[in-house]
Amino acid sequence: MTQRPFHHGNLRAVLLDEAIEVVRESGVDGLSLRDLARRAGVSHGAPRSHFVDRQALLDALAGAGFERLTTAIRRALDGGGGRTERLHRVARAYVDFAVDDAALMELMFQAKVTTKPEAVHEAAGTLFAVLDGALGPAESEASGDESRDHFKMLFAATMQGIAALVASGRVERPLGDRLVGTAMDTMLDSDLGRRVVTAR
């Protein structure tokens, strides 16, 4: 294995990148600090200067996952088009991430909100803030509170459900893409969607 060069101070980022690769290859159960040290070409004790134990590594990995998903959502929003077109791109980006990094996605959402470390909670909050921004400005006080939260949770549940079907092989990816489009059209055309999504 070719060791990745790194400078003092970015070992944490290198270890997280390696951890994501391990999760892709063999799932969360395949993660260990000792193996990450070997993959990064450092001493066995070096990772503990950044992660006191395996749970700390998992927490950091979950936070990194939320950051990567948020970046993908922001890229999807950068293109042109109207609100509906941008939200369709956001949905596809969300499902693509959840399919390609299924084990990481499961890790990100498996912990209860009340027990997540603050950094993970903040990273998750940033993701949902970006999703909220994608809906457009609230047109009324009512549409800015419970209804918008309901829509965002419905969006996440629906897209993760489609992604789970694709990742498990129950649904082929082209059909999954069509399901994403149908689901978004249905959500946006619903009473809830019309209430919370700004048309522009």
Q: Whole-prediction pTM value? A: 0.85
Place of tokens 């999807």: 76
User: Is the pLDDT assigned to residue 1 strictly greater than 80?
Assistant: no
Yes or no: say if 166 and 92 are a contact pair by the CB < 8 Å rule. no
Q: How many other C-beta atoms are found inside a 10 Å radius of the C-beta of residue 158? A: 19
User: Is the pLDDT assigned to residue 6 strictly greater than 80?
Assistant: no
User: Is the pLDDT assigned to residue 130 strictly greater than 90?
Assistant: yes
Distance CA 46, CA 97 (A): 30
Burial category of 41 from C-beta neighbours within 10 Å (exposed 0-12, middle 13-18, buried 19 and up) = middle
Q: Which residue has the higher pLDDT, 190 or 47?
A: 190
Sequence-separated (6 or more) residues with CB below 8 Å from residue 32: 54
What are 58-115's pLDDT values in tens digits?
A: 999 999 999 999 999 999 999 788 999 999 999 999 999 999 999 999 999 886 555 6
Helix axes 83-100, 102-110, angle to 10 degrees: 100
Residues of the chain with pLDDT > 90: what percent? 56
Q: Which residue has the higher pLDDT, 157 or 42?
A: 157
- Helix (H, G, I), strand (E, B), or coil: what is residue 162? helix
User: Is the pLDDT assigned to residue 122 strictly greater than 70?
Assistant: yes
pLDDT of residue 112: 58
Q: How confident is the model at residue 143 (pLDDT cuts 50, 70, 90)?
A: very low
Distance CA 190, CA 144 (A): 17
| pLDDT (mean) for 30-46 | 86
Q: Residue 193, by phi and psi: left (phi above 0), alpha (psi -120 to 50) or beta?
A: alpha
pLDDT of residue 47: 83
User: Is the pLDDT assigned to residue 2 strictly greater than 50?
Assistant: no
Yes or no: say if 152 and 131 are a contact pair by the CB < 8 Å rule. yes
User: Is the pLDDT assigned to residue 29 strictly greater than 60?
Assistant: yes
- Residue 142: both structure tokens together: 């009512």
Average per-residue pLDDT for the chain: 87
1 closest CA partner among 26, 36, 28 = 36
Q: Which residue has the higher pLDDT, 119 or 100?
A: 100
